[in-house]
Amino acid sequence: MKALLLRDIRLAVRAGGGFGLGLAFFLIVVVLVPFGVGPQSELLSRIAAGILWIGALLACLVSLDRIFALDWEDGSLDLLATAPLPMEAVAAIKGLAHWVTTGLPLVLAAPVLGVLLSLPAQGYGPLVLSLLLGTPGLSMIGAFGAALTVGLRRGGLLLSLLVLPLYVPTLIFGAEMARRGVDGQDYTTPMLMLAGITCGTIALLPFASAAVLRVNLR
């Protein structure tokens, strides 16, 4: 399992692996917003938490189709299916590798981009915490969507259509937690809901992804 995780991270970081693309996409989306909304810092600071969350969500989406598609094309997935590793572990590790290479950099970059959007000072902690709790869930849901569409040509768009509705609960509670943090309110309830959703996806979706992969490999 460790070998698979390290290989996936190594592949992502090497040339052509796409590491940093999600991050760059996040950066551009967030930078574009002030141009679209105009230089009104009090409006920007009001919507900053929501923009950062939507930006992170879209950046996460961009790299999802690579989770299984590359291994499918070069036959690695067939070989992994006959390896001693259970398919559930493969699905979970793939989700984890996606989070390490996409979700975690987004969490770390969010405070920097918060400055661009005049995020109030008390909002940084809750924003980073909400992204840290929410993005693993996004990766796991995304891995499930990627498993569903793995054999399809041009499956990327279908993947987005399938995955985006599933992202709604995470987005609602994540953005709510960040917004309450910005307003200086108590954010315990949305934080617990967000953590619960993420834990649920980590516990259940690897099994669903593995089942779908087995069907797709036939």
Query: Which residues are at the interface with another protein (CB under 8 A)?
Result: 2-4, 7, 10-11, 14-17, 71, 73-76, 78-85, 215, 217-218
Q: Which C-beta is closer to another protein: that of 74 or that of 185? A: 74
Helical segments of 41-123, H only: 41-62, 66-73, 76-81, 87-98, 104-116
Report the nearest approach of another protein to the CB of residue 10 (Å).
7
C-beta of 11: minimal distance to another protein in Å?
Answer: 6
The candidate with the shortest Cα–Cα distance to 18, out of 28, 29, 8, is 8
Amino acid present at 178:
A
**C-beta closer to another protein: residue 2 or 153:** 2
Q: Smallest gap, in angstroms, from Cβ of residue 85 to another protein? A: 6
Residue 153 or 218: the one with the smaller Cβ distance to another protein is 218
Q: What angle do CA 162, 190, 178 make, to 5 degrees?
A: 85
Nearer to another protein by Cβ, of 24 and 73: the residue is 73
